[in-house]
A and B are shown apart, each in its own frame.
Chain A
Amino acid sequence: MTETKANEQMVHLTINNIPVEVPKGTKVMQAAAKIGIDIPHLCYHEDQRAKARCRLCSVEVTGKRRLLAACSTEVWEGMEVHTDTPIVRDTQVAILQLMLANHNQDCLNCARNQNCDLQRLCSRFNILHSNLPNVVKPEPRISTNPSIVRDPSKCIRCGRCVRACKDVQGIEALTYAGRSSDIIVTTAFKKPMETTDCVLCGQCSLVCPTGAIVEKDDTDAVLDALQDPKKHVIVQVAPSVRVALGDAFGMEPGEIVTGQMVTALRLLGFDKVFDTNFGADLTIMEEGSEFLSRLQNGGVLPMITSCSPGWVNFMEKRFGDFTKHLSSAKSPMSMFGAIAKTYYPEKAGIDVKDIVTVSIMPCTAKKYEASRPEMGRNGIPDVDIVLTTRELIKLIKYVGITFKQLPESDFDSPLGTGSGAAAIFGVTGGVMEAALRTVYEKFTGKTLPKLEFEDVRGFKGIKEAEVDLGTRKVKVAIVHTLKNARVVMEQVQKGESPYDFIEIMACPGGCIGGGGQPIGTTNEIRKKRIEALYQLDKSLPLRKSHENPDIITLYKDFLGEPLSEKAHELLHTHYHKVAPLYEFD
């Protein structure tokens, strides 16, 4: 809700004869919410511009011949709104029935069963039997990539995914084709998503109200591995999962559930529960050193972070001639995987062939990253299976764990220690802040007077900061969403980028707002998760990556120095241009 400001013009209206006062410009839907009336909606999403296409939010307004869409109609002085008249009820029920008739209703076989907006509304409006014939066109599920599965027969043409792809990411991989009852949401020329401009970020799956776009489900593979007595199954969990997982179990958005999460993973049967934050600290060691090396030796600048696979895909597809700007350091997930498949078996005395590495990620594109041949060696992938936060929720429910009541426990050693710097990897600005903490101290040899870099924090799309390293000032930028990434990349393309170091994350707010996070993730919730991760950082005794004792040991016992030959072999990679499917020039 918009907060009331002193100079704001207020508008008075009635909704179902109840007087309401709201600021000018408020939409009927928000005015109704203020007095506790939830006007049903499907195409409307609080983070998107109104589309007014599902028409489910139609309301009656005195003096108006037709019903008006509550999502897009601004209130006016003296307006009389009715949300419960016979024609409004008839319209809501009719629209739901029309949608149902053209919706593949195999709800029991659906990833979104019991978490579906259409299902919820049909239940709310007591739709007991449809009076319309089924008109769904049989269409196969489209499962051609490791990340995202589409089921066109479940699409209700609300257009949320199209808006997310266009307005948030600026990609427009999804669009409409055809018209009348043949209209569909599809890709250009109906090509498989991964061959189009799509970067597999999964923001579409996060806003889809039904099961038309979902993550590729890999829970069975994990269950199989867990049941296999020969396999030593280890799991790593990304920083942003621990502040999102609780949402699905009736906890407050942004609640930090690390301890319960670790317990739940143990109960699921993982042999070791490790922390991607360890990988994040390792990333800072390598990426920070790489940046310092580029800075001191005249390397390619700006250097741009490469831990967000949606962003890396975008770079390879859209700015493929500039991949040399990407840090060669692998993502925390893949670094962790590489260590888990080399150092760890050596240390634990286990045959690498028996190790299965699972990662729990907020991200659909991570599934693709794990499948890249670059992320592994001798045919052994760094990471075997990636689950999204949503799939972990399913596993926890499947096993029957009462998550909220679980006792807390700690990550296993030796790959379970992470610094506060690593924790904030999950938010936009966090990688930069973590890197700056290490880069500053390594470059100047001095201790940072203040650990918090306030300029790199916040939800703004493109943030800038300048950091004084004594002999040199470093100009940095922090970018989230690919729409904003395009802006800074066009500067790079023109050779006009004023920055030395850029952090880019594909998803709004960073990984805490990732495409694999719980359904219902909104910008409001993203902001709470961001606060939570900063809180977590603040609460930890260890807040700099280079002070992580397990990381220090790892270098001493195994890797040598950052950027050493071994580090390069295991922890670095190369990115390459991917030719677009079609060129319009």
Chain B
Amino acid sequence: MRDIKFLTKNFGKYDTSSIDSYLSIGGFDALKKAVTMEPTAISDLIASVKVKGRGGAEYDMGRKWSQARDVKGDNKLLICNADEGETTTFKDRELIKNDPFNLLEAMIIGAYVVGAVEGFIYMRGEYACYRPLLLDAMRQCREKGFLGKNILGKGFDFDIKLYSGAGAYVCGEGTALIRSIEGKAGRPRMKPPFIKVSGAFARPTCLNNVESFSIVPHLLLDEKGEYASCGSGNSIGTKMVSVAGNVNRPGVFEIPFGTTVREIIYDLAGGVQHNHGIRLIQFGGASGKIADASILDTPYTYEALRGAGVMVGSGGILVIDERTSVLDFLRMNQDFFSEESCGQCTPCREGNLHIKIILDKMAEGKATEEDLRVMEKIARVMSMSSLCGLGETAQNTLMSAMRVFPEVFQAGGAR
């Protein structure tokens, strides 16, 4: 495994409470370079190394920025999604905590590229302890002229507000996040209108994840092409993964794309507790899919994981060892969605409720073949017809479990 620090290269290198300290390690050099470039050159650069949105939707980030730039409007918004509500996912927290100025610098560059005049960081309520850090960093940026009017004398204005969520998982979904920022209940809405055209306060809005933003300053200064030298195909550069569950060293790791799952779990995360065997691995949090141990030698890339029936998603990797049954894991996962559905659309609201009931019947050994058939059908209807991404992906875990562990889904609920 190649040891590379790209996104994490500033971690521990400067005093995160001091902009001078950040400047002393070359902070804002990327912004200074960016403002000498054509905005489209920056989005082209991002597109050239195929950066996919790191929130989980895997949308081409360079394309997103150039589309955002093309949207007409003089009051565009740029929002950083720091809601990081996906279970097993805590990589953005490390980026905020260890390199807050890089994130702010990235957003300012983003504003320059897309033409935004105002920005928001929407941070999950549970990260309240990082509010003072970010607010103070923003204040210092304002004092040094990196935020505010006429940034770097280049005639563009941009400032950032920090907004804390109230704890709903669904607020990581773009339209729910936007309603939450508007002060409304955080419930998703139908699209269109698309966020890029009519987002928060009906203003054109460009929304990116913390990790996606954080890549940009490093990329601009990456003259040797270190980032592009990692990975292959559509999986270029590095990825932040967070590993949790029954491993010896849970934590956040930056890996070059192509690192195998085994290397992540056994070399970086220290292997499975007490040398237990692996029951299953869930990729991408509660809305992700699961695999058994046969996935260990699969390289961690968008393509290979997809080929193995799972997805990168949020970058979370949850290792469950053989002490936990598949069914108990599924019930735990289902409890999460039964709680977190916003309740607006029928398939998600009612579907999660009934799938929970059937999983409970399985646990009691009382599920019938008809129950199992109904469960599969509801799961499929939910993924096909729900209003938002939550309902679409809520049964990813269950549906992948049905493929990987068919023996679990027997009438009577064999475990």
Contact = CB atoms under 8 A, between A and B. Distances in A.
A51 B344 CA distance: 10
A119 interface: no
Contacts of B9: none
Interface stretch (B195-203, B239-247, B295-303, B348-356): B348-356
A74 B350 CA distance: 27
Interface string A57-72: 0100000001101001
Interface in A119-162: 131-133, 135, 156-157, 159
Interface string B331-352: 0000000111111111101111
A84 to B, nearest CB: 15
A99 interface: yes
Given A135-B354, A180-B349, A157 B343 contact: yes
Q: Is the interface of B mostly helix, strand, loop or mixed?
A: helix
A503 to B, nearest CB: 33
Given A94-B377, A181-B352, A51 B190 contact: yes
Given A98-B378, A132-B354, A54 B345 contact: yes
Interface stretch (B110-118, B143-151, B316-324, B385-393): B385-393
A542 interface: no
Contact of A90 (B192, B380, B386, B387): B380
Contacts of A519: none
A99 B350 contact: yes
A87 B340 CA distance: 26
B57 interface: no
A561 to B, nearest CB: 56
Contacts of B378: 94, 98
B343 A102 contact: no
A180 B190 contact: no
Given A55-B387, A90-B377, A176 B185 contact: yes
Contacts of B377: 90, 94
Contacts of A178: 343
Interface in B349-375: 349-354, 357, 370, 374
A578 interface: no
A53 B374 contact: no
A51 B374 CA distance: 27
A131 B168 CA distance: 31
A53 B344 contact: yes
Contacts of B344: 53, 157, 159, 176, 183
Contact of B354 (A90, A98, A159): A98
Given A132-B374, A179-B343, A72 B350 contact: no
B350 A67 contact: no
A436 B341 CA distance: 56
Nearest to A95: B346
Given A87-B384, A99-B350, A135-B354, A53 B370 contact: no
Nearest to A42: B346
Interface residues on A, range: 35 or more
Contact of A95 (B343, B370, B381, B383): B381
A54 B385 contact: no
Contacts of A54: 345-346
Q: Is the interface of A mostly helix, strand, loop or mixed?
A: loop
A52 interface: yes
A91 interface: yes
Contacts of B346: 53-56, 95, 98-99, 156-157
Interface residues on B, range: 20 to 34
A181 B344 CA distance: 9
B338 A181 contact: yes
Contacts of A157: 343-344, 346, 349
Contacts of A56: 346
B384 A183 contact: no
Given A52-B190, A98-B351, A179 B392 contact: no
Interface string A173-190: 000101111110000000
A53 B350 contact: no
A41 B70 CA distance: 36
A104 B386 CA distance: 23
A98 B350 contact: yes
Contacts of B351: 98
B350 to A, nearest CB: 4
B343 A180 contact: yes
Interface centre among B346, B383, B386 (most CB of A within 10 A): B346
B190 A69 contact: yes
A552 interface: no
A79 interface: no
A563 interface: no
Contact of A135 (B343, B345, B353, B381): B353
A181 to B, nearest CB: 4
A486 B53 CA distance: 45
A102 B290 CA distance: 31
A352 interface: no
B383 to A, nearest CB: 8
Interface string B299-318: 00000000000000000000
Interface in A342-375: none
Contact of B343 (A55, A58, A183): A183
Contacts of A98: 346-347, 350-351, 354, 378
Interface in A88-130: 90-91, 94-95, 98-99, 101-102
A365 to B, nearest CB: 29
Contacts of B185: 176
A66 B385 contact: yes
A55 B347 contact: yes
B343 A181 contact: yes
A131 B190 contact: no
A133 B349 CA distance: 15
Cβ-closest 3 pairs across A and B:
A183-B343, A98-B350, A52-B190
8 contacts: A56-B346, A72-B192, A74-B192, A94-B378, A102-B350, A156-B346, A179-B187, A180-B339
Given A156-B346, A176-B185, 11 more contacts: A54-B345, A58-B385, A74-B192, A95-B381, A99-B346, A131-B370, A179-B340, A179-B342, A181-B341, A181-B352, A181-B353
